[in-house]
Each structure stands twice: as C-alpha cells, then as structure tokens.
Amino acid sequence: MSNTEVLSLFPETAASLGGRLSIGGVAASELAATYGTPLLVYDEATIRSSARAYRAAAPNVHIHFGSKAFPNVEVLRILREEGIGADVASLGELAFAQRAGYTGAEIVVHGNNKSDAELAAAAAVGALVAIDSLEELDRAKAAGIERGILRITPGIDADTHEAIRTAHHGSKFGVPPEVALDAIRHAPWLEGLHTHIGSQLFDAGAALMTADWIAAFAARARTETGWTPKTIDIGGGLGVATAPEDPRPSIHDFAGQVAAELERAWAEHGLPPVAVMMEPGRSLVGRAGVTLYSVGTVKQAADGTTYVAVDGGMSDNPRRALYQARYTAVLADRVDDETVGRFTVAGKHCESGDVLIDRVELPEPHRGDVLAVPATGAYTLSMASNYNALLRPAAVLVADGHARLIRRRETLDDLFALES
Ligand SMILES: *Cc1c(COP(=O)(O)O)cnc(C)c1O
C-alpha cells in the first residue's frame, strides 16, 4: 500500500511535507498538540468542493445535507453558503439547522416516528416533511403541515451493510407501494414522493434502479389516482472510501447519472416536469474529516497480534463495531517512513470489540505518536457517546494554514451537569 494511495483517502488539501501530514496547510501533529486528542479535523476546502461537485453535476437538483452525518453549526453554515439545504430528523437537528441560518423552505424533516412536537416544529417553520406512514398523514395535516412528500420503500436491496439498507421489503422506513396509492387517494395534498435506499453505496446501480422505479410508480399513481408528483426526493447514500482497497466513488458521476436517469425515465413515462431533490450526508463531509489520536500502550497478544491502543475508540467512532467499517491510518509525523509490520488499532474502552482498525501497516509506533485516521468526517462524532465516561472530542476546521475550533471538547463538568 503506497503513500499516495493512503493519502488519497485524506482531504483534498492533505499532503506529506517532509514526512509530516498537513491538512489545510496545518501540520496534524501541531493540531493535536494545540487542541488535544482525540480530535476531529475538518478541511473546509473538501467540504466546499464536495458541495460544488453535487451542484455542478446536477445543477437543477436541490441538494440537501443529511445533517445526521455531522450536525455542526459551522459546517451547516458552510454548506448553506454553497447552496445546500438541510435534511433533519429530530428537534435537535432542526435546531442545529436553524442556528446555522436555515429557514423552513430550505429544510426537509424526516423520521419514521415523528413526535407531535416534531410535527408542530416542522409546521411552525414551514418545512417540507417526508411523511413516513398512513397514520402520520393525518397527524401531519392536523399539525398544520402544508408541504408533504410520501416516503416509499420500493423493495430494492442496496448492496451495503444490512444496518444501513433502508428500502428493502420489511424496512421500518416509509410505506410499500400499495399503501402509498391509498395514501395518495386519501391525501391528494401530498406534493411528491421520497425514497432513500441506503448508505455507503459505492456505485450508482441501485440509485439508477430507484430512479426508474420511482418514475414507473409515479406513472402508475397518475393512471390509477389522477395524482402527479411535483417533487421527487431520491435520497442520499453515496459512499466514501475509508480503506485503500475501497473503490473511489465520484460525486460528479453519481449525481450526474442519477439526475439524468430520472429525467430520462420521467420523459419515457410522459410525466410533466418535476422538481428533484437529493440528500447526501456522508459524501459531503466524510472525506473532509480526519481523526487524530495519541498512541498509548503498544503490546503483543499471545496470538501475535500487536495492539496499538489509542486515547479514544468506539465512543468517538462506533462504525467498526456497528457496521464492520474498515479504516486505515498513518503516523502523522512519519508518513513517509517504511512500515515495519501490521498492527491492530484498539480503543481504550472496556470491550474487546473496541477495535478501530483490524489491520494497518505502520512504522514502529511509540507512545505519544499521533495517529491520523482518514475519512472519518461522517457518522463518527455524530454517533459519539460518553461510554466509560469518556469526554467527546473537539472538532476544528482548517483552511489556508489556519485552524479554528468548531466544537469544543467536553469536560467533566459537562458530564456532571446532567447529574442530580
Ligand atoms: C441518512 C439519510 C440520508 C443521508 O444518507 P448518506 O448515506 O449519508 O448520504 C438521506 N436521507 C435520509 C432519509 C436519510 O435517512
């Protein structure tokens, strides 16, 4: 595995300067020294260029950020500046979007079990709401929701981990096609349809099938009920490479192909023009984020495994434990050094499953080395916990040789603030 291969998983501005990893023009080990570890480092240039890639590939499509990937006020502000809307699924995510300046017209509200308070909040801001069930239709109407799209499960098995597959028969999300027809007859005020087939997709195959499927369904709904969707939200799902062997999915190809296929299928069925939305989460922020850890204990187990233990783990990145996500890493100040063997990177939690990387080749790691794990900008800090009463990490944004804190590290006082 060559350096360039590994470096290509890092943000666009990442480089080895004399063997020292730099991101956004700042040395990673300096960031670790200044802000402490574990630390999430976000590269502003990569966030902006990912947003621009979507906008350029699909200029007529409204792009909304699946904010659960990393709900952070500053990152949301940046995405809003780039013309990206916000997709939220709780009062908390809605509050983050509003804090970042989003207004109702720029927000889509999701959730398979929206509370009355969530529906009321969505109505109060005038957000578009993805209705998830027949019973929610009436509750949404009663709550004063004026703009709704119906979430459908087409029965398409996305080629991804079962925990992040969302449109198969039996999914807890949305309604099956037959129920959707009933819903449309019952609520012709619905403005359109929504579907999201899953996450961490490495090619456009399933998304293209979904585009065809939704056009065919729209045509069927038009014939059987006389109703025609004005809006189609085709969801998110594009993956991010996290390990050297992963394919490198292209935002430009994915968004361009899906938008073109939808347009083609729409025309084929003779349907009137439709507003199209996409909701990428991971692909907007995943590559932009790098986690820095400090190396602690290095030791060999009886089976020959050499463990490199770091000062975080499943509390700041539960993705290997949840989805068998694979990652890689470099020693931030010895990027160009020869590797000496294979190591297993473990966290510091009281669980044997608290492993971040099963196998990674590294130069000899020592206590105090900074370990940098690329492609950890999505679904890491947003899924973080205080397991073992660990304090959740800080996040900094880097650009043009400068860093600034966009989320401070938790303190023990933060933990005690919840106790009575
Ligand atoms: C999670 C989610 C997204 C974003 O998914 P990614 O895989 O991060 O792109 C979009 N829409 C809905 C409804 C979601 O639940």
* CATH code for the domain in which residue 129 is found: 3.20.20.10
Q: In terms of domains, do 270 and 292 share one? A: no
Q: Please say which residue of 285, 314, 349 terminates a domain.
A: 285
Mutate to test the pocket of ligand 1, among 63, 173, 194, 199 (most ligand atoms within 8 A of CB): 199
Which residues neighbour 365 within 8 Å (Cβ) at sequence distance 6 or greater? 295, 298, 308, 331, 343, 371
Q: Which domain holds residue 357?
A: 3-36+288-416
Which H or E run contains 151? strand 148-151
300/408 same-domain check: yes
In which element (H, E) is residue 353 found?
none
For residues 80 and 102, the answer to whether their CB atoms sit within 8 Å is yes
The total of other beta-carbon atoms located within 10 Å of residue 406's CB is: 18
Q: Which residues are catalytic?
A: 350
Token pair of 41 as six digits: 């480092």
Q: How many CB atoms lie within 10 A of CB 44?
A: 21
**Do residue 176 and residue 99 come from a single domain?**
yes
Question: Which pLDDT score is estimated for 164?
Answer: 65
The set of residues, in sequence order, having a beta carbon less than 8 Å from that of 30 and lying 6+ positions away, is: none
CA of 131 to the centre of ligand 1 (A): 15
Give CA–CA dist 127/105, Å, rounded. Answer: 5
Which residue, 251, 285, 319, sits at the end of a domain? Answer: 285
Burial of 230 (0-12, 13-18, 19+ CB in 10 A): middle
Q: Based on the fold, state whether residues 215 and 298 are members of the same structural domain.
A: no
Q: Are residues 276 and 317 in the same domain?
A: no
Q: Which atom of ligand 1 is nearest to the CA of 233?
A: 11
- Do 239 and 320 share a structural domain? no
Same domain, 138 and 265: yes
- Same-domain pairing of 263 and 183: yes
Which residue, among 155, 172, 152, has the nearest Cα to 163 in the 3D structure? 172
Q: Which atom of ligand 1 is nearest the CA belonging to 64? A: 10
- Say whether both 271 and 140 belong to one domain: yes
Selection from 373, 403, 348 nearest residue 34 by Cα:
403
Which atom of ligand 1 is least distant from the CA of 194? 13
Q: Which of 418, 413, 420, 368 minimizes the C-alpha distance to 391? A: 413
Task: Examine the fold and report which residue of 264, 285, 306 is the final residue of a domain before the chain moves on.
Answer: 285
Of 70, 28, 50, the C-alpha closest to 287 is 50
Which residues contact ligand 1 via a Cβ below 6 A? Answer: 66, 68-69, 87, 110, 196, 199, 235-238, 279-283
Number of domains in the chain: 2
Tokens of residue 18, six digits:
């004399």
H and E: helices and strands count for the chain: 13, 20
Which of 132, 242, 279 to probe ligand 1 with, by most ligand atoms within 8 A of CB?
279
Contacts with 6 (C-beta within 8 Å, 6 or more apart), sequence order = 244, 328, 330, 374
- What does each of the 420 residues of the chain score in pLDDT, given as a tens digit? 567 789 999 999 999 999 999 999 999 999 999 999 999 999 999 999 999 999 999 999 999 999 999 999 999 999 999 999 999 999 999 999 999 999 999 999 999 999 999 999 999 999 999 999 999 999 999 999 999 999 999 887 767 777 667 767 788 999 999 999 999 999 999 999 999 988 899 989 999 999 999 999 999 999 999 999 999 999 999 999 999 999 999 999 999 999 999 999 999 999 999 999 999 999 999 999 999 999 999 999 999 999 999 999 999 999 999 989 999 999 999 999 999 999 999 999 999 999 999 999 999 999 999 999 999 999 999 999 999 999 999 999 999 999 999 999 999 999 999 999
Q: Among candidates 173, 229, 232, which has minimal Cα distance to 198? A: 173
Please classify residue 25 by burial: count the beta carbons closer than 10 Å to its beta carbon, then call 0-12 exposed, 13-18 middle and 19+ buried.
middle
Q: Do both 230 and 347 map to the same domain?
A: no
- Number of neighbouring beta carbons within 10 Å of residue 396: 23
The verdict on 123 and 236 lying in the same domain is yes
- The reply to whether 276 and 377 lie within a common domain is no
